[in-house]
Amino acid sequence: MSKDSHAGKGYGCPGEVPPDRPDMLEEMLKPTYREIPHEAPDEPDGDEQTEGRNWAILLTLFSVMLVQLGGIALIVWAVFW
């Protein structure tokens, strides 16, 4: 197939001018996000799971303390062994 096989078939002919749409750039640059309210609601949602959050905080603190104690134990073992 030669590169001239599409010649004269209307595919990208210089005679074809794209439609003039001056508002197309503005339409493309228009933000697509929704408006975010600037004020936070005063009342918390009733769907919050505070119990799960409390357990997560407790488990995080426990694991940090466990790692600290393990580090101290390793230092003591390395020094006095």
Domain borders along the chain are 23-80
**Residue of higher predicted confidence among 81 and 9:** 81
Q: For residue range 15-40, what is the model confidence (pLDDT) as tens digits?
A: 666 667 777 777 777 777 777 767 76
Which pTM was predicted?
A: 0.40
Distance CA 61, CA 66 (A): 9
Distance CA 16, CA 70 (A): 75
Confidence of residue 66 (pLDDT cuts 50, 70, 90): very high
> Residue 78 — φ and ψ, nearest 5°?
-70, -35
> Residue 45 — φ and ψ, nearest 5°?
-65, 150
Q: Cβ of 1: how many Cβ atoms within 10 Å?
A: 5
- Amino acid (one-letter) located at 8: G
**What is the pLDDT averaged over residues 58-66?**
97
